[in-house]
Amino acid sequence: MNLQADKLKNVIASLPDKPGVYQFINKKEEIIYIGKAKSLKKRVSSYFTSKSHSGKTNVLVKNIADLKYIIVDTEGDALLLENNLIKEHQPRYNVMLKDDKSYPSICISKEAFPRIFKTRKLINDGSKYFGPYTSVWAVNSLLELIHELYPIRTCKLNLKKENIDLKKYSVCLQYHIHKCNGPCIGSETEEAYEKYIHEAEKIIKGEVNELSKSIMVEIKTLSKELRFEEANVLKQKYEILENYKAKSIITNTVLEETEVFGYDEDENSSYINMLRISKGSIILGYTIEYKKRTDETKEDLLASAITELRRKFPGETKEIILPFEIEFPIEGINITIPQRGDKKKLLDLSMQNVKQYKFDRLKQKEKLNPEQRTTAILKNLQEKLKLEKLPMTIDCFDNSNISGSDAVGACVVFKKGKPSKKDYRKYNIKTVEGPDDYESMREVVRRRYSRFIKEESPLPDLILTDGGIGQMEAVRQVIENELNITIPIVGLVKNKKHITREILFGFPPKSIGISPNDLIFKFLANIQNEVHRFAITFHRDKRSKGQKTSELDNIPGIGEKSKIELMKHFKSIKRLQNADLDEIEKIVGKSRASKVYKHFHNDLKPSESNI
């Protein structure tokens, strides 16, 4: 049915209460969205009656000029039809599957003395194909195991009986290193070779446990018959298989082919992981990302992903394990939502995989666009503190002193979430006597923002203090009571190990209740660590400079250049103190040397100091 836009409301009102697929069409007669529904009437009507849509859905609704729909018999049919139509038309507002790769399969060729190899091309020539595999490493591991266990040829020779009888070929290196028994020269029978292929096929299908058991039975039989050499060859194969199982296959008690789907999401994307288990082994693992376009529910997204993944990786599964119910049943499949036991462990494993995939994807996006992550943190901080504007410029203050001596203050500046080191400032405390952190904080804040006001420089959007309620109040008194300006203030409280433990905001200050694992908490703690580092470094430099030059500063007539020359030559005050007058004269001359020598030898008489 193709209806005009002016009849849209009447059509919606007359939609059937049956399962089906609907298509929204814009003014250019392009399909912009395809959806499935258990009830076409209820689902399509919800787009035009609900007021709680997201911005994306509102944009979609504004662009709808027409609609088509197809009625089907069952909800499962609707799910399959929706998937087919989305694949064909790729509507702009549907979820976008982030996957355009081709994956390798394992081929057992249809020919005399078949080959087993990796391929990305599936040719309809009677050969057997297994896969596709999402991991090239898994394919290579399987092929390596097979060629280690069985002398299967790797050449592409046409080994028909007549060619072998005519002795067209000669053996290659693989024969000499015992990786092939030489079927090209008639040294291998087709019956023996077919047995290798049959067992290799079991390994590819994931029937390693079954193969191991059959080999062990054969070993015991050969041992009873005293055929120890043959039993030893099989024992080596058995040990290789067991070692492979231990290293690369996760086993469980689920024997029939089962599929497990894990689900996770964020604001813009959904992530779905699929694990396939066969004969007690995980034989396939794959995760996809759906880019959300409208207000799809997680149940709808999971159902779509299941259909897509099962089509991409066909199998013989009769049971699927899910984290929650989906609205659309899948014909011939039993759905389980486990709460405990082995199946729950498999579901947990799938959930672990999907969460890791989501984490990796977010990390990749951060590397490609780090500013996006920082902006998101600043927006979250704005929402958490209910700030009027985004905190694009943040000032953070800290003080440092030892019992009040060499007291200093420091301010670091973060712009757009990143340190702006050219705006960092150091302050020598001038008006405070003794160890008074609050008064030192007042002095630094007063000096900084008085100058900002005088020079009409832009004020920061947020102030952080390295300290709790006392430091916050000291800053507030200067900002509001003295300077009559308003800037939000946050206090960063540390524990005894000097690690950020709490974030305070408001007056009276209260904890804003952010977990230490939250990105906002980590962001603010990083700024606090940076201002502490900057203040401590400044304080150490000042203290160190004072220790090195204090004695020379007290000698009248000895300038900066003379100090540098003396320290460069003598390296320390102690060596200078023990030096002879003649040695000092060689560095700074007779007059200044006399002053230096006299300073360190006050007990000498004037005549003695000139000897």
**Tell me, what CATH number does 309's domain have?**
3.30.420
Residue 392 has pLDDT above 90, yes or no: yes
DSSP state of 16: -
- Helix, strand, coil percent content, the chain, rounded in steps of 5: 45, 20, 35
Q: Above pLDDT 70, what percent of the chain? A: 85
Q: What CATH number corresponds to the domain at position 465?
A: 3.30.420.340
Three-class secondary structure of residue 320 per DSSP: strand
Q: Which of the four pLDDT bands, split at 50, 70 and 90, describes residue 53? A: low
Residue 78 shares a structural domain with residue 124 = no
Flag the least confident range among 15-24, 37-46, 149-158, 206-215.
Answer: 206-215
pLDDT of residue 402: 67
**Structural domain includes residue 372:** no
Residue 281 shares a structural domain with residue 178 = no
Task: Give me 506's structure tokens.
Answer: 């408001």
pLDDT of residue 489: 93
Nearest to 94 by CA among 230, 276, 280, 291: 291
The dihedral built from the CA positions of residue 222, 224, 226 and 229, taken in this order, carries a sign that is positive
State the total domains in the chain: 5
Residue 112 shares a structural domain with residue 196 = yes
Residue 358 has pLDDT above 70, yes or no: yes
**Cα separation of 185 and 170, whole Å?**
6
Neighbours of 499 (CB within 10 A): 11
Flag the least confident range among 103-107, 370-374, 574-578.
Answer: 370-374
Give 109's Cβ-side CA count (13 Å radius).
18
Q: At what angle do helices 370-385 and 519-553 cross, to 10 degrees?
A: 100
**Structural domain includes residue 100:** no
**Structural domain includes residue 253:** no
Nearest to 274 by CA among 265, 284, 266: 284
Flag the least confident range among 242-251, 336-345, 569-578.
Answer: 242-251
Residue 222 shares a structural domain with residue 111 = yes
**Cα separation of 541 and 522, whole Å?**
28
List the 105-108 sheet strands across, edge first.
116-119, 105-108, 128-130
Residue 132 shares a structural domain with residue 41 = no
Q: Above pLDDT 90, what percent of the chain? A: 19
Tell me the mean pLDDT in the region 405-425.
89
CA dihedral 467, 468, 474, 478 (to 10 degrees): 80
Boundary (domain end) residue, out of 493, 516, 543: 543
Per-residue exposure over 437-470, b if at least 16 CB sit within 10 Å of its own CB, e if not? bbbbbbbbbbbbbeebeeeeeeebbbbbbbbeee
Tell which wins on pLDDT, 291 or 152: 152
DSSP state of 556: T
Q: Which of the four pLDDT bands, split at 50, 70 and 90, describes residue 80? A: low
Residue 411 shares a structural domain with residue 334 = no
Residue 356 shares a structural domain with residue 323 = yes
Residue 299 has pLDDT above 90, yes or no: no
Flag the least confident range among 69-73, 75-79, 122-126.
Answer: 75-79
Q: Which of the four pLDDT bands, split at 50, 70 and 90, describes residue 606? A: very low
Q: What CATH number corresponds to the domain at position 601?
A: 1.10.150.20
Tell which wins on pLDDT, 71 or 322: 322
Boundary (domain end) residue, out of 44, 61, 94: 94
pLDDT of residue 286: 78
Residue 459 shares a structural domain with residue 585 = no
pLDDT of residue 114: 93
**Structural domain includes residue 310:** yes
Residue 375 has pLDDT above 50, yes or no: yes
Flag the least confident range among 33-47, 56-70, 129-143, 562-576.
Answer: 129-143
- Given its phi and psi angles, is residue 477 left (phi above 0), alpha (psi -120 to 50 degrees) or beta? alpha
**Structural domain includes residue 371:** no
Residue 399 near residue 439 (C-beta atoms within 8 A): no
Nearest to 607 by CA among 598, 228, 599: 598
**Cα separation of 85 and 88, whole Å?**
5
Range of the domain at 151: 105-248
Residue 124 shares a structural domain with residue 216 = yes
Residue 269 shares a structural domain with residue 413 = no
Tell me the mean pLDDT in the region 95-121.
77
Q: What DSSP string describes 135-201?
A: -HHHHHHHHHHHHHHS----------HHHHHTT-----HHHHTTS---GGGT-S-HHHHHHHHHHHH
**Cα separation of 199 and 202, whole Å?**
5
**Cα separation of 412 and 425, whole Å?**
7
Residue 437 has pLDDT above 50, yes or no: yes
Best-predicted range by mean pLDDT (67-81, 140-154, 595-609): 140-154
Q: Which of the four pLDDT bands, split at 50, 70 and 90, describes residue 603? A: low
Q: Which of the four pLDDT bands, split at 50, 70 and 90, describes residue 611? A: very low
Nearest to 323 by CA among 348, 342, 355: 348
The dihedral built from the CA positions of residue 592, 596, 599 and 603, taken in this order, carries a sign that is negative
Q: Locate tokens 């697929």: which residue?
A: 21
pLDDT of residue 450: 93
Cα separation values, 233 from 175, 216, 226, 242, Å? 18, 12, 14, 15
**Structural domain includes residue 374:** no
Residues in Cβ contact with 103 at an 8 Å cutoff, skipping those fewer than 6 apart: 120, 131, 132, 133, 134
Residue 275 near residue 284 (C-beta atoms within 8 A): yes
Residue 429 shares a structural domain with residue 319 = no
Task: Give me 341's structure tokens.
Answer: 């036991």
Residue 30 near residue 23 (C-beta atoms within 8 A): no
How big is the chain, counted in residues? 611
Tell me the mean pLDDT in the region 578-588.
88
**Cα separation of 449 and 478, whole Å?**
9
Best-predicted range by mean pLDDT (52-56, 376-380, 559-563): 376-380
Residue 264 near residue 287 (C-beta atoms within 8 A): no
Please indicate, yes or no, whether the overall pTM of this predicted structure exceeds 0.75: no
Side chain identity, residue 119: T
pLDDT of residue 547: 54
**Cα separation of 108 and 105, whole Å?**
10
Q: What DSSP string describes 389-436?
A: S---EEEEEEEEEETTEEEEEEEEEEETTEE-GGG-EEEE--S--SS-
**Structural domain includes residue 548:** no
Tell me the mean pLDDT in the region 408-436.
89
Tell which wins on pLDDT, 43 or 79: 43
Tell which wins on pLDDT, 610 or 312: 312
Nearest to 150 by CA among 182, 210, 197: 197
**Structural domain includes residue 503:** yes
Is the peptide bond prior to 132 cis by the omega test (within 30 degrees of 0)? Answer: yes
pLDDT of residue 462: 94
Boundary (domain end) residue, out of 229, 248, 267: 248
Residue 126 shares a structural domain with residue 219 = yes
Q: Which of the four pLDDT bands, split at 50, 70 and 90, describes residue 99? A: low
